[in-house]
Amino acid sequence: MTQLDKAKSGLRLAQILFEETESLERSEEEVNKAVIIADSIQGSSALDIQLRLYELQIQIQMEMKKFRLAKNTLRIASSIAAKQELHWWTYQFCLLKARMFFLVNDFAGSLTTLNQGATLASKRGDFDLKMAFWIVAGQYSLMLSNWDQANVYLQKLTPHMGLDEALGLAASTTTAPPLKESSSTVPPSMPQQPADMTQPMKSQQFLIEGIKVVDREFSVNDYASSTIYVRRNQRWFSLLMMSMLLHLADVLLLKFDLVSAEETILKATYWSKVCGMWDVFKWRISLSIGMTMQLGGRLEEALEWYGICLSHSEGNHKDPEGYEAKTLAIINTALVHCGERFFNLQKVKELQLEAKARHTSSMSTNLLCALHILDSWTKEGVIPARQHLQEALKLSSTLVNTQLRSLTLLLLGNVYLQTHDEQAEKMLIAGFMHAVKTGNQVIAAATGSCLKDLYLATSQGIKASQQTKQNIPILETVDKVFQLQPMAPLLSQE
């Protein structure tokens, strides 16, 4: 067993001991040993394991109230992350540092740290992370009954959530975080982050824990009281819950977990109606439902929900997020009409022109990538189509929306097939491996089928047989998803 394998085993053992048992001393012992092993490995091969070990070590130290040790470990880990320009780890250690300050009753230090994290996220254009820092700062403020401070962060968040009217606040000109991207029969997913494949899982865990906190707040507080502070607290948690549920649905779509995504959207719908905010959130929820339907192959329903989004996103909500939501719905509608079932080239061109007319210098990379994919469908000739897909491939390399990259590789492979270019097999293999690795089952199934057909057409029987075996479990998974029943009546358009 290599030193790296020993470090990985030590991490897993320490995690199990920390999360599943009450043996903090044993978990601390195991993580300390694993850290020593990881620190001894030369080069960058153990960097991710090293930082994950530091993360766990800090959590254990804080749980054991060894705050001086935790502070020192945070300093070391943060220094490594900054030196290697691993900004996502820098964000994580920033959140842990803020939590440590909060646990030792240094609220000022906690807020300072969170504001520093938000500033870094803003400079890097990681708007979702900036909001995450604000959300945590608001939560800490509420936990200390610091209502005025909590309201400051609520006002910071409001313009980014399209909720000015719900809160009775003046509209802000602050730029909203970029929305999602798009893909052919495969709709886009929300998170706008660099392409670190561990992020969807981390995001899911963070959001689930946040939702538990809000549920707990509502169960232990008496909201029948009419005091302004309690009403303000309730409003904060209502908006926070809606934001987290919708982001969680997007993360689940990114992972092709349609069942959980539907359940989450149902909860968001129920929550919005209970809190009297259905009219405010209707366009955003409609967008999520449309993407879920599209990803699950229920294209007629997807078109209906995109229509609802288009009719609401800019009516009462003339904010940047609503503007990009409408652009996204337009692009996704066009992509549905690119498919065989609803193929309408004239409709695609009309929607394409409408989407391009909405192009701004601040349009997200995701939407730009999707527009290039649309261009590849509508341009006549192999060379223009290939050029647009190559540009889309460059753009998709910076995105966490792995569906876009997998889809682009699939389409590029098919373009090369038309000219019998040997690059076709390379692109399709890369697309298949990427789709399988990132859980994009629909694209994996389509790419795997293309590869099998390519091998059969070129008399490569052994490769065709091997590919068929790989395709079977993927196709079975996709079939199960496509057999799901439509969403519950709760998602009516009333």
Sequential DSSP letters for 113-146:
HHHHHHHHHHHHT-HHHHHHHHHHHHHHHHHTT-
Position 293 scores a pLDDT of 87
pLDDT digits (tens, 9 = 90+) for 212-239: 656 655 554 444 433 333 344 555 666 7
The whole-number pLDDT of residue 342 equals: 87
Confidence of residue 447 (pLDDT cuts 50, 70, 90): very high
Instruction: Tally Cβ neighbours within 10 Å of residue 123.
Output: 10
Superfamily of domain 379-482: Tetratricopeptide repeat domain (1.25.40.10)
Q: Which residue has the higher pLDDT, 190 or 449?
A: 449
Tokens at 15, concatenated: 């995690």
The alpha-helical segments, DSSP class H, found in 224-317 are 228-254, 258-274, 278-295, 299-312
With helix as H, strand as E and coil as C, how does the chain read? CCHHHHHHHHHHHHHHHHHHCCCHHHHHHHHHHHHHHHHHCCCCCCHHHHHHHHHHHHHHHHHCCCHHHHHHHHHHHHHHHHHCCCHHHHHHHHHHHHHHHHHCCCHHHHHHHHHHHHHHHHHHCCHHHHHHHHHHHHHHHHHCCCHHHHHHHHHHHHHHHCCHHHHCCCCCCCCCCCCCCCCCCCCCCCCCCCCCCCHHHHHHHHHHHHHHHHHHHHHHCCCCCCCHHHHHHHHHHHHHHHHHHHHHHHHHHHCCCHHHHHHHHHHHHHHHHHCCCHHHHHHHHHHHHHHHHHHCCCHHHHHHHHHHHHHHCCCCCCCHHHHHHHHHHHHHHHHHCCCCCCCCHHHHHHHHHHHHHCCCCCCCHHHHHHHHHHHHHHCCCHHHHHHHHHHHHHHHCCCCCHHHHHHHHHHHHHHHHHCCCCHHHHHHHHHHHHHHHCCCHHHHHHHHHHHHHHHHHCCCHHHHHHHHHHHHHHHHHHHHHHCCCCCCHHHCCC
Both tokens of residue 347? 């409709």
| CA gap 322, 312 in Å, rounded | 9
179-189 pLDDT, tens digit per residue, is 233 333 343 33
User: 335 or 400: whose pLDDT is higher?
Assistant: 335
**No. of H helices and E strands in the chain?**
22, 0
Q: Report the pLDDT value the prediction gives residue 216, as an integer from 0 to 100.
A: 58
Q: Is the pLDDT of residue 491 over 60?
A: no
pLDDT at 423 exceeding the cut of 80: yes
pLDDT tens across 251-277, in order? Answer: 788 777 888 888 889 888 887 877 777
pLDDT band at 113 (very low <50, low <70, confident <90, very high): very high
d(CA 79, CA 112) in angstroms, rounded, equals 18
Mean pLDDT on 405-433: 90
Is residue 22's pLDDT more than 70? yes
pLDDT band for position 463 (cuts 50, 70, 90): very high
Average pLDDT over residues 275-281: 77
Residue percentage of the chain with pLDDT more than 90: 23
pLDDT for 413 beyond 60: yes
pTM here is 0.57
Question: CA 149, 153, 156 angle in degrees (round to 5)?
Answer: 140
Does residue 343 register a pLDDT over 80?
yes
3-class state of residue 377 by DSSP: helix
Q: 205 or 359, which is more confident?
A: 359
For the chain, give the number of residues: 494
The pLDDT value given to residue 478: 82
Domain with CATH 1.25.40.10 in the chain: 379-482
What whole-number distance in Å separates Cα of residue 69 and Cα of residue 310? 53
Considering only residues 386 and 175, tell me which one the structure prediction assigns the higher pLDDT.
Answer: 386
Let me know: does 177 contact 128? Beta carbons within 8 Å.
Answer: yes
* CATH architecture observed for domain 178-371: Alpha Horseshoe (1.25)
The DSSP 8-state label assigned to residue 490 in this structure reads G
CA distance 34 to 18: 14
Alpha-carbon radius of gyration of the chain: 24
> In whole angstroms, what is the distance from residue 383 CA to residue 401 CA?
26
Q: Beta-carbon neighbour count of residue 489 at 10 Å?
A: 7
User: b or e along 385-395 (b: 16 or more beta carbons within 10 Å of the residue's beta carbon)?
Assistant: bbbbbebbbeb
Candidate from 34-38, 240-244, 438-442 with smallest mean pLDDT = 240-244
**Averaged pLDDT, 461-482:** 88
pLDDT of 358 over the 70 cut: yes
Contact residues for 317 (Cβ-Cβ < 8 A; gap 6+): 162, 165, 280, 283
Q: Is the pLDDT of residue 450 over 70?
A: yes
Q: Note the pLDDT of residue 93.
A: 92
* pLDDT class of 399 with cuts at 50, 70, 90: low
* pLDDT given at position 225: 39
Assign 102 a pLDDT band (cuts: 50, 70, 90). confident
The answer for residues whose C-beta is within 8 angstroms of residue 253's C-beta and 6 or more apart is 187, 189, 190, 261, 288, 291, 292, 295
Mean pLDDT of the chain: 77
pLDDT of residue 201: 54
